[in-house]
Amino acid sequence: MARIALDAMGGDHAPHAPIAAALLAATELGPDHTLQLVGQQAVIREELAKQLAAAGPEAQAAAAHFEIIDAPDVILMTDKPSVAIRGKPNSSMGVGLKLQAEGKSDAFVSAGNTGAQMAASVFVLRLHEGLQRPAIGTVFPTATQPVVVLDSGANVDCSAQELVNFAQLGHVYAKDILGRPNPAIGLLSVGEEAEKGNAAVKEAHQLLLKSGLNFIGNVEGRDVAMGACDRGPIDVVVCDGFTGNVLLKFYEAVPKLFGGLMLKAGVSKETLGQALSGLDYAKYGGAPLLGVKGVSIICHGKSSPEAIKNGIKAGLRAVESGMSRHIGEKVHA
Amino acid sequence: MARIALDAMGGDHAPHAPIAAALLAATELGPDHTLQLVGQQAVIREELAKQLAAAGPEAQAAAAHFEIIDAPDVILMTDKPSVAIRGKPNSSMGVGLKLQAEGKSDAFVSAGNTGAQMAASVFVLRLHEGLQRPAIGTVFPTATQPVVVLDSGANVDCSAQELVNFAQLGHVYAKDILGRPNPAIGLLSVGEEAEKGNAAVKEAHQLLLKSGLNFIGNVEGRDVAMGACDRGPIDVVVCDGFTGNVLLKFYEAVPKLFGGLMLKAGVSKETLGQALSGLDYAKYGGAPLLGVKGVSIICHGKSSPEAIKNGIKAGLRAVESGMSRHIGEKVHA
């Protein structure tokens, strides 16, 4: 059984969305796991009562297993990370992560201020030795199987060694969370030849060849969309957080662009929704902050209850698979 | 009237595609402009005769205005740029560009080896003073108006000053080729705040504020897909060639990914084709190599006759608008 701390105050739709997600998750996961709702106690109790009044007996039973943990400070989406950590030590993030550091919780899940969550996670949980910074691994739906792209925004300027670390982190993520037995790792570049790429990528290519990972060489933008290159399927795409973040945000906007064109051409909303359902980010839940000693799941600020519920499930998989321990071993290997 | 030199040997489908493109262009543009077919004379004559035998009287009349210019060497798609320039001075690229340097031609268009075309263009035409390297500007179809993204692959490691130069080149391109009177220039980054981005982007942001260009600040991946950000429409997106190339290749693969999902959901091929026709890259023809003293249009190796024809038209627009002269003025301003 696992104890998952959920930031009840984080996200554009808090506290409604996290509390609704907790009810969905508890119903789905059953009483074996404990959900810890962290935030301003009065706000949580009020929102929970409101949602339970409209819910069925299943949700009522599930909520009986919730722990409510008071955290008086609230981090705003607009707070600077440094201000959030130093100025608001008793925020839902601070309290939720401290529970984990003290061995009273196994994972932390939030849809709140991403920068603050990253900074607080590193500050409270610490990084595995050998890592300079954490990375965010985001699952991209593709034409074939989903691939994990990292870093997707935590590190904008990356050295070759950091790219190699991302490959190690991605290896563990793909194995533990996506269930790929021997993850195929591609290095994002502008051509498949080893000599193509910017300075950091060219150096990282050489280091990856000697890394002992299943490195399949450089991959290009199109290969990310296809989930495969001419050397076979891809499980992990390694890139700096600048490129990864630009690509992720571009990709997130593409269904809107394509959907608009389809509707104009007379395709019905129902058909469109059905076609694009496989690309729904909510399915893949949150992105783990990789490299910290523990589990910290970052959900999109706009997350629906369904998306946060999947973030909770991602946290559970990370706990049950021993992802953080495996990362520690891989980075030292 | 303009004289446009066309690389008859360049591209995956040469000589068929360039010759067919020349016939389409000549028919459409009329006898005011001269098309110069550059390549192995015997090959060109044979292919032209074959296509004319199957063509109507319009094409026959158009072809009467062709100049055929012999270039015995052939650059392969796999040749290294340096080898192609030094070892094959009498290639279609070498000869076609020299015509322009000698004042006997106004523009060069090719679907051949991009690296070789870039190197040969810089070598033969030279760069405008003040520029270190040329840039490739690619037109991205968006949810609204098309935007020009540059650099989209010529320069993988870029300094802040180079990003500012791309903004100047993009300004002239958007004005002269896309007809935007006061191009809105966005700097691609991971957040809209000035302090977001990698080191080069953060420095470029400050330089762009003082550049005299219509700089609208940082834009993100989603804004590229939308063709707009919350500050209004975007005409030019400035980025290093690594990010630009990854984004371009990703985007090129997306219709395949989305199209597959639509067909699976029961949308007909006809409806799909109609919906996606606005995203057809062929429409926008080739991408000018920006920064050289003259006009060199780079077409995709896979270009259809229609795409190369649009490359020829892009070359004509560049000549008629005085794009190269305007770039020289802008870089020195």
| Mean pLDDT on A60-65 | 87
**Residue B73, domain member (yes or no):** yes
**Residues A238, A317: one domain?**
no
**Residue B257, domain member (yes or no):** yes
Chain A 65-124, residues with CB within 8 Å of chain B CB atoms: none
Identify the CA nearest to A221 among candidates A147, A273, A300, A161. A147
Q: Number of structural domains, chain A?
A: 2
The pLDDT value recorded for residue A64 is 87
**Residue B97, domain member (yes or no):** yes
Say whether pLDDT at B269 is over 80: yes
Per-range mean pLDDT, top range of A148-157, A277-286, B234-243: B234-243
Backbone angles phi, psi at A290, to 5 degrees: -90, 135
Look up the CATH number of the domain holding residue A311.
3.40.718.10
The pLDDT value recorded for residue A281 is 65
- Cα–Cα distance, A212 to A233 (Å, whole number): 19
Chain A residues touching residue B188 (CB < 8 angstroms) = 246
Chain A residues touching residue B249 (CB < 8 angstroms) = 220-222
Q: Is B265–A271 a contact, with Cβ atoms under 8 angstroms apart?
A: yes
**Residues A314, A210: one domain?**
no
Question: B276 CA to chain A: closest CA distance, Å?
Answer: 7
Other beta carbons within 10 Å of B290: 28
Residues in chain A, total: 333
**Residues B144, B249: one domain?**
yes
Q: How high does pLDDT run on average in chain B?
A: 93
User: Are the CB atoms for A74 and A88 separated by under 8 Å?
Assistant: yes
Q: pLDDT grade, residue A38 (50/70/90)?
A: very high
Tens of pLDDT, residues A220-232: 999 999 999 999 9
**Residues A154, A236: one domain?**
yes
Nearest residue on chain A to B262, alpha-carbon basis: A275
Chain A / chain B CB contacts < 8 angstroms? 151
**Residues B200, B231: one domain?**
yes
Q: Which of A255, A278, A301 is the last residue of a domain?
A: A278
**Residues A102, A175: one domain?**
no
The pLDDT value recorded for residue B333 is 66
Q: Is B153–A266 a contact, with Cβ atoms under 8 angstroms apart?
A: no
Chain B residues touching residue A264 (CB < 8 angstroms) = 275
Crossing angle for the helix pair B16-29 and B41-53, to the nearest 10 degrees: 60
Residue from B142, B243, B264, B281 whose CB has the most chain A CBs within 10 Å, to mutate:
B243
**Residues A88, A109: one domain?**
yes
- Cα–Cα distance, A186 to B317 (Å, whole number): 40
Chain centre distance of CA A299: 6
- DSSP of B68-104: EEE--B---TTS-HHHHHHH-TTBHHHHHHHHHHTTS
pLDDT, greater one: B86 or B190: B190
- Cα–Cα distance, A298 to A243 (Å, whole number): 19
**Residues A72, A97: one domain?**
yes
**Residues A225, A271: one domain?**
yes
**Residue B251, domain member (yes or no):** yes
**Residues A224, A327: one domain?**
no
The pLDDT value recorded for residue B154 is 85
Say whether pLDDT at B1 is over 90: no
Using alpha carbons, list the distances in angstroms from residue A30 to A44, B45, B174: 21, 77, 58
- Cα–Cα distance, B149 to B238 (Å, whole number): 6
Tens of pLDDT, residues B294-321: 999 999 888 999 999 999 999 999 999 9
Identify the CA nearest to B162 among candidates B242, B231, B103, B219. B242
Asked if the C-beta of B54 comes within 8 angstroms of chain A's C-beta atoms, the answer is no
Q: Which of A278, A303, A323 is the last residue of a domain?
A: A278
- Beta strands A67-70 and B185-188: pairing type? unpaired
**Residues B127, B173: one domain?**
no
Using alpha carbons, list the distances in angstroms from residue A46 to A27, A40, A67, A266: 20, 10, 15, 45
ipTM of the complex: 0.89
Chain B 197-236, residues with CB within 8 Å of chain A CB atoms: 197-199, 201, 220-226
Structure tokens that stand for A274 in this block: 């059905």
**Residues B108, B90: one domain?**
yes
Identify the CA nearest to A37 among candidates A12, A62, A1. A62
The pLDDT value recorded for residue B70 is 97
| Mean pLDDT on B211-224 | 97
Spatial CB neighbours of A293, under 8 Å, sequence gap ≥ 6: A125, A126, A127, A128, A324, A328
Q: Which of B233, B257, B278 is the last residue of a domain?
A: B278
**Residue A284, domain member (yes or no):** no
User: Are the CB atoms for A192 and A224 separated by under 8 Å?
Assistant: no
Give kind and range of the element (H or E) at residue A37. strand A34-39
| Mean pLDDT on B27-42 | 94
Say whether pLDDT at A80 is over 90: no
Say whether pLDDT at B281 is over 80: no
The pLDDT value recorded for residue A193 is 92
The three-class DSSP label of residue A307 is helix
Per-range mean pLDDT, top range of A251-265, A298-312, B77-91: A298-312
Other beta carbons within 10 Å of B80: 15
The pLDDT value recorded for residue A154 is 85
pLDDT, greater one: A275 or A37: A37
| Mean pLDDT on B113-117 | 92
**Residue A283, domain member (yes or no):** no
Chain A residues touching residue B189 (CB < 8 angstroms) = 242, 246
- Cα–Cα distance, B319 to B107 (Å, whole number): 7
Measured at the CA of A129, the angle between CA A126 and CA A130, to 5 degrees, comes to 125
Spatial CB neighbours of A255, under 8 Å, sequence gap ≥ 6: A276, A279, B258
Say whether pLDDT at B2 is over 70: yes
Q: How high does pLDDT run on average in chain A?
A: 93
pLDDT, greater one: A226 or B81: A226
Asked if the C-beta of B147 comes within 8 angstroms of chain A's C-beta atoms, the answer is no
Domain that holds residue A59: 3-131+291-332
**Residue A285, domain member (yes or no):** no
Q: pLDDT grade, residue A282 (50/70/90)?
A: low
Q: pLDDT grade, residue A120 (50/70/90)?
A: very high
The pLDDT value recorded for residue B289 is 95
Other beta carbons within 10 Å of A54: 7
Chain A residues touching residue B262 (CB < 8 angstroms) = 262, 267, 275
Structure tokens that stand for B241 in this block: 């060639």
Q: Is A221–B245 a contact, with Cβ atoms under 8 angstroms apart?
A: yes
The span from the first CA to the last CA of chain A, in angstroms, equals: 29
The pLDDT value recorded for residue B58 is 86
Identify the CA nearest to B78 among candidates B32, B121, B113. B113
Percent of chain A with pLDDT over 70: 99
**Residue B61, domain member (yes or no):** yes
Residue from A82, A219, A261, A274 whose CB has the most chain B CBs within 10 Å, to mutate:
A261
Asked if the C-beta of A333 comes within 8 angstroms of chain B's C-beta atoms, the answer is no
Chain A residues touching residue B242 (CB < 8 angstroms) = 189-190, 197-198, 201, 243
The pLDDT value recorded for residue B282 is 65
Identify the CA nearest to A62 among candidates A301, A321, A317, A309. A309
The pLDDT value recorded for residue B64 is 87
